[in-house]
Amino acid sequence: MTQLRLFNPHDLGTNVLTEVSLTSERQRLEEKFAPLLREEFHLARLVSYGGNKEVPILRLYRYKEAFAFHFVEEFIQRFGLTGRDCLFDPFCGMGTTLFAGMQKGIPTVGIDKLPIAVFVAQTFLLFFSLKEGELRSTFAELKNRVRHADLAPIASDVAIMKVAFPPENLIALRQWKKVIDALEPPLRDVFLLLFFSILEPCSYTSKDGQFLRLNRKKRVGEPEELLERKVSEAERDLQLLKQLWPHEKAVAPKVCLGDARDLGDISFPQRPTAIITSPPYANRYDYTRTYSLELCFHFVSNFEELKSLRFNILRSHIESKVDNSEEPPHPAVKEVVDILRSQRKELNNPRIPDMLTGYFVDMWRVVQEWARILAPGARVAMVVDNVRFAGELLPVDLVLSEMAEKTGFHVWEILVARYKGNSSQQMRKYGRVPVRESVVVWQKEQ
Ligand SMILES: C[S@@+](CC[C@H](N)C(=O)[O-])C[C@H]1O[C@@H](n2cnc3c(N)ncnc32)[C@H](O)[C@@H]1O
């Protein structure tokens, strides 16, 4: 692990320290950054996956935490990036930043800690090598073989796998997986991606909210029919892809498994000159649950492996573990954590203070890594969501911006994409206080 400096709130400077004693840390932050906050509500549509529904190929797999292709296009333009730059996404998810960078001829590098995310990001790139009609003809061959196929192995000791599917769907899906596994790449990976995209509609589960929700009353689709439909959609998108983005212009991105908290092993063609990214939000969502069907079908072989993945991603979810020696690394986080700890009863989950501590310790490491690896003058655009627990608002955008300043970034602006309401439970109890979803824009010192 790279050596990391701890964030010392007392290093903030005399002016700030005077203010700290007069007012709350969060008020101090709001006042300090007020001149840099700007509402740009047109970004609201772009900071969520919804915007990708019109983008060929990217729309084939719903990675619901993704931002839109046009968001990346917009910041590539604002930063004036060209083929001489290197664009990095340390939380690349399904690879939206890489896909957009590639279309503009910009060298890109992406990492993610979740194997399904890295797989999807890598596989989108393979579509460029397919011939028209190839997916349809392969599907017809697989259809002949599937009925006699054995069952592919799955992580069957994971609880959700026992209840997620009607029994006949689970058998059919395991048979489809078996015949797909036997294909040669790139067709194998492309078919696996289409297969992953039908798991949710073939199941009683929905990726809505913090977890994968189980709804026994949900109308469930039939695997073969859904896969056939996906193949048709993919064929249509292949045609569009080649019309929209002629292959010659593209520069193949580099995508690999990696941890944004330690970039020591990641190699770059040159020092990155820009980051366009969005980390997990401190909102309790657990990616290893949301994507557990995909993970259990292909990426983990048992519950132990799934758990290990859960405890190794950024600590944005409620099962995150915190060491006794770990403290909130910023005074505003400490303020909120202390209040929440003193009102444990108010919290619907007593582990929230630990999650917030772990989240900011992790993000502090992330920001220090960026300061270390980025080229002088490099720009950062990062989408973040503020959070509110038991009525206590935590301005994640401002805390991270102050951390960035400490490591040698200049904070240019904090663009408010939208104000989100609270959960109805919170609103009833604490009134309506809008919570910002923002894009923080920083530049590393020259
Ligand atoms: C908000 S999503 C990013 C989505 C991405 N912008 C896209 O368009 O698909 C955050 C990503 O961070 C990943 N992640 C979680 N912990 C990580 C870590 N320690 N290092 C790198 N990536 C991590 C998650 O798997 C998830 O894909």
* pLDDT at residue 5 greater than cutoff 80: no
Share of the chain above pLDDT 70, in %: 91
Q: Which two tokens stand for residue 385?
A: 């969501």
> Ligand 1 center to residue 280 CA distance, Å?
6
User: Is 417 domain-assigned?
Assistant: yes
Beta strands in 386-444 (DSSP E): 387-389, 392-394, 409-420, 435-444
pLDDT of residue 249: 62
> Ligand 1 center to residue 92 CA distance, Å?
6
Taking CB atoms and a 6 Å cutoff, what residues make up the pocket around ligand 1? 63, 65-67, 90-91, 93-94, 96, 111-114, 117, 259-261, 278-280, 287, 313-314
| Tally of CB atoms within 10 A around 414 | 22
Q: Which residue, by CA, sits nearest to atom 7 of ligand 1?
A: 66
pLDDT of residue 23: 57
> Ligand 1 center to residue 435 CA distance, Å?
21
Q: Which atom of ligand 1 is nearest to the CA of 114?
A: 25
Q: Which atom of ligand 1 is nearest to the CA of 362?
A: 19
- Report whether 154 contacts 162 (CB < 8 A): no
Q: Which two tokens stand for residue 416?
A: 């408010």
Q: What is the mean pLDDT of residues 259-284?
A: 96
User: Is 335 domain-assigned?
Assistant: yes
User: Is 399 domain-assigned?
Assistant: yes
User: Is 226 domain-assigned?
Assistant: no
Nearest to 309 by CA among 429, 173, 155, 182: 155
pLDDT of residue 419: 94
- Supply the range of the domain harboring residue 383: 3-39+320-446
User: Is 429 domain-assigned?
Assistant: yes
Q: How confident is the model at residue 7 (pLDDT cuts 50, 70, 90)?
A: very low
Mean pLDDT of the chain: 91
pLDDT of residue 215: 92
* pLDDT at residue 22 greater than cutoff 60: no
Q: Which atom of ligand 1 is nearest to the CA of 94?
A: 9
User: Is 401 domain-assigned?
Assistant: yes
User: Is 396 domain-assigned?
Assistant: yes
User: Is 263 domain-assigned?
Assistant: no
| Tally of CB atoms within 10 A around 150 | 9
- Report whether 143 contacts 176 (CB < 8 A): no
- Report whether 266 contacts 259 (CB < 8 A): no
Number of domains the chain contains = 1
Q: Which atom of ligand 1 is nearest to the CA of 117?
A: 27
pLDDT of residue 198: 98
Gyration radius from the chain CA atoms:
23
* pLDDT at residue 275 greater than cutoff 70: yes
What's the CA gap between 199 and 176, in Å, rounded?
Answer: 11
* pLDDT at residue 121 greater than cutoff 90: yes
> Ligand 1 center to residue 113 CA distance, Å?
7
Question: Is 404 in a helix, a strand, or coil?
Answer: helix
Q: What is the mean pLDDT of residues 192-197?
A: 98
This prediction has a pTM of 0.93
> Ligand 1 center to residue 13 CA distance, Å?
33
pLDDT in tens, 354-378: 999 999 999 999 999 999 999 999 9
Q: Which two tokens stand for residue 55?
A: 């983008």
